[in-house]
């Protein structure tokens, strides 16, 4: 604990900042000791689409926005920069950049986690002789040792969402980067690492465990960059940043930027941050984030989850000796489906959808398949199409809206089931967050379908709160996790009301619609 804000009367009050660099918005909240938001600011992230399937972010624009939201939030709170004792940053995961170690100049834009340019390379890595040898090696390793890490690794496959293969693509296709790699003059960083580099004017170069575990280059079992995985993806270890605890003093912001040196004390991936913000600290705690997509995460305790279907194990956070692991499943289109309907003028404000849905008995046999970006777990079909089925002359926009909301709840049920099947850990509690959890219809239906109580917090920007919580712990602003638990406020608790049987036929029909939408783009 630092003396300057240790409570004596004449000292001004102090605050921590929680930032979230998401896929669509950069947000900053100023938190007081009661974890109340005292000032906020947000800016839209602009994605660039230079070619079909390519998704980039301009780092100079992102940096300017990042600095601006901090200044604006502090101004909105009516406080001085000098009253800020710590900064925590949560970021969209697996979006990365590379830059010149000597000059600090970046070689290209951020390559977004949504970018598909490396699809062919992922296929060839997946099918390479090396990968086959690796799987065989792991199967043999498991046979002799019965160590679960071998079994999990024997199912390991790369995907474009992990940074590893996109980075390999960049190195192969950009001679400038390749040259820098050969001269050991190339730095790789996800958004957090790069922001830290910018904030400290190049003096700090690091990432945290929660981030590192999403790159596809990380060995969750040994807690370090994986020599084998980086070799499989042809990524040189020399470009990867050192990995630090999630809640840790990463360095101070250069004084020129905000006039005072503010310590950067937490770097964390967005889902992990939301998990922390929800106080899902115990094994079996679950959080359901419904934003652009849905992310269902369960705390699996100190051991990485073992699953046969190839869930990639994640590190939630590492603080000192404490390591918390997560298992995660996701669905790609949640908020995107609602946004799409809004663009069609089915309603003007997403808040109306709840009333529209509850004004009907049912969707009159109309089903929606939320698959603008394919279907993820448990179906794993990138070629599935989005579709409406069962349309009739009498179908109104109300039915369409209800079908969309129902489809989100049905997907939640599917994700929950696969999690229960794969992760043999009893669920202790479930907490929801993200913009779409404001929709009471989806929340109630999800609670009914999974037959579990779901707690919706009073605070929605969980990734900001999580980053601020981690930062606050690192500087002694909050004492411990128990204190954070006491500060958490619940808004509504959804309890199961209807029986599963009431939905059974409906869900069976929806599953039928899903099946018929699968493998649609099979020539793609
Ligand atoms: C940590 O989170 C940030 C947010 O993008 C993400 O961009 C970055 O990829 C993560 N770090 C690593 C090493 O994955
Ligand atoms: C690589 O393998 C994984 C797991 O089988 C699969 O989900 C993914 O789609 C594959 N990627 C490509 C591009 O084939
Ligand atoms: C739902 O949960 C309650 C309480 O845990 C249990 O008694 C009931 O049998 C469950 N219902 C179904 C359909 O599983």
Q: What is the DSSP track for 294-307?
A: EEEEEEEETSPP--
CA of 420 from ligand 3 middle (Å) equals 15
How many Cα atoms occupy the beta-carbon half-sphere of 162 within 13 Å? 26
> What's the rounded Cα separation, in Å, for the pair 470 and 337?
32
Which ligand is nearest the CA of 125, by number? 2
Helices (H), 313-396: 335-343, 352-358
Q: Which two tokens stand for residue 311?
A: 């869930």
For a substitution probing ligand 3, which of 451, 453, 501 has the most ligand atoms within 8 Å of its CB?
Answer: 451
| Nearest ligand for residue 190 CA | 1
pLDDT value of residue 426: 94
Which numbered atom of ligand 1 lies nearest the CA of 94? 9
Ligand 3 centroid to Cα of residue 100, in Å, is: 58
- Tell me the CA end-to-end span of the chain in Å, nearest whole number: 57
> Ligand 3: does its nearest atom lie under 6 Å from the Cβ of 521?
no
- Give the whole-angstrom CA distance, residue 213 versus residue 194: 17
- 159 touches ligand 2 (CB under 6 Å): yes
pLDDT along the chain (524 residues), means of 10: 51 92 93 96 94 90 97 97 95 87 93 83 65 58 51 58 77 88 85 91 71 52 49 58 72 93 91 95 96 92 71 78 87 93 96 97 96 84 90 97 98 94 92 95 97 93 95 94 95 93 94 94 62
Per domain, the residue ranges of the chain are: 331-517
The rounded distance, in Å, linking the Cα atoms of 331 and 295 is 7
For ligand 3, whether the C-beta of 500 sits within 6 Å is yes
**Dihedrals φ, ψ of 60, to 5°?**
-70, -40
pLDDT digits (tens, 9 = 90+) for 168-190: 888 889 999 888 888 888 888 88
Task: Give the ligand whose atoms come closest to the C-alpha of residue 448.
Answer: 3
Residue 368 sits at φ, ψ, to 5 deg, of -120, 140
Any ligand 3 atom below 6 A from CB of 497:
no
Tokens of 343: 């663009």
Q: With contact defined as beta carbons under 8 Å apart, do 21 and 92 qualify?
A: yes
Nearest CA, atom 1, ligand 3: 451
Looking at the CA of residue 451, tell me the nearest atom of ligand 3: 1
Provide the pLDDT for residue 443: 98
- CATH number for the region 331-517 comes to 3.30.420.40
């Amino acid at each position: 604990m630092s003396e300057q804000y240790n409570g004596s009367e004449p000292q001004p009050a102090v605050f921590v900042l929680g930032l979230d660099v998401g896929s669509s918005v950069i947000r900053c909240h100023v938190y007081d000791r009661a974890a109340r938001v005292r000032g906020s600011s947000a800016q839209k992230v602009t994605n660039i689409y230079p070619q079909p399937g390519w998704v980039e972010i301009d780092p100079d624009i992102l940096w300017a926005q990042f600095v601006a939201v901090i200044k604006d939030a502090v101004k909105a709170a009516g406080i001085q920069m000098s009253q800020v004792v710590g900064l925590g940053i949560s970021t969209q995961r697996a979006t990365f950049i590379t830059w010149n170690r000597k000059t600090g100049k970046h070689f290209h834009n951020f390559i977004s986690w949504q970018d598909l340019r490396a699809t062919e390379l992922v296929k060839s890595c997946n099918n390479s002789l090396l990968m086959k040898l690796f799987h065989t090696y792991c199967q043999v390793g498991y046979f002799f040792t019965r160590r679960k890490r071998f079994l999990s690794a024997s199912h390991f496959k790369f995907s474009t969402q992990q940074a590893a293969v996109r980075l390999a693509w960049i190195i192969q296709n950009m001679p400038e980067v390749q040259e820098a790699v050969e001269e050991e003059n190339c730095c790789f960083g996800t958004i957090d690492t790069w922001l830290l580099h910018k904030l400290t004017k190049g003096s700090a170069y690091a990432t945290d465990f929660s981030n590192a575990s999403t790159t596809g280059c990380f060995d969750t079992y040994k807690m370090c960059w994986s020599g084998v995985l980086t070799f499989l993806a042809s990524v040189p270890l020399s470009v990867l940043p050192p990995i630090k605890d999630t809640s840790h003093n990463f360095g101070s912001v250069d004084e020129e930027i905000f006039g005072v040196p503010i310590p950067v004390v937490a770097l964390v991936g967005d889902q992990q941050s939301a998990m922390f913000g929800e106080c899902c600290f115990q094994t079996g705690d679950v959080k359901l984030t419904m934003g652009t997509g849905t992310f269902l995460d369960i705390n699996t305790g100190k051991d990485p989850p073992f699953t046969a279907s190839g869930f990639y194990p994640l590190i939630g956070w590492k603080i000192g000796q404490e390591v918390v692991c997560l298992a995660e499943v996701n669905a790609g289109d949640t908020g995107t489906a609602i946004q799409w309907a809004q663009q069609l003028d089915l309603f003007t404000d997403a808040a109306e959808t709840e009333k529209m849905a509850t004004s009907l008995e049912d969707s009159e046999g109309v089903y929606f398949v939320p698959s603008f970006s394919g279907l993820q777990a448990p179906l794993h079909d990138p070629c599935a199409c989005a579709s409406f089925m069962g349309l009739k002359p009498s179908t109104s926009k109300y039915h369409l809206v209800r079908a969309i909301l129902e489809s989100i709840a049905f997907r939640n049920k599917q994700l929950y089931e696969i999690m229960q099947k794969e992760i043999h850990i009893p669920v202790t509690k479930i907490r929801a967050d993200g913009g779409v959890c404001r929709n009471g219809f989806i929340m109630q239906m999800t609670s009914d379908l999974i037959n579990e109580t779901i707690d919706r917090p009073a605070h929605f920007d969980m990734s900001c709160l999580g980053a601020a919580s981690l930062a606050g712990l690192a500087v002694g602003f909050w004492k411990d996790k128990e204190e954070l638990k006491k500060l958490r406020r619940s808004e509504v608790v959804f309890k199961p009301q209807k029986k599963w049987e009431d939905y059974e036929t409906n869900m069976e029909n929806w599953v039928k619609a899903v099946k018929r939408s699968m493998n649609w783009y099979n020539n793609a």
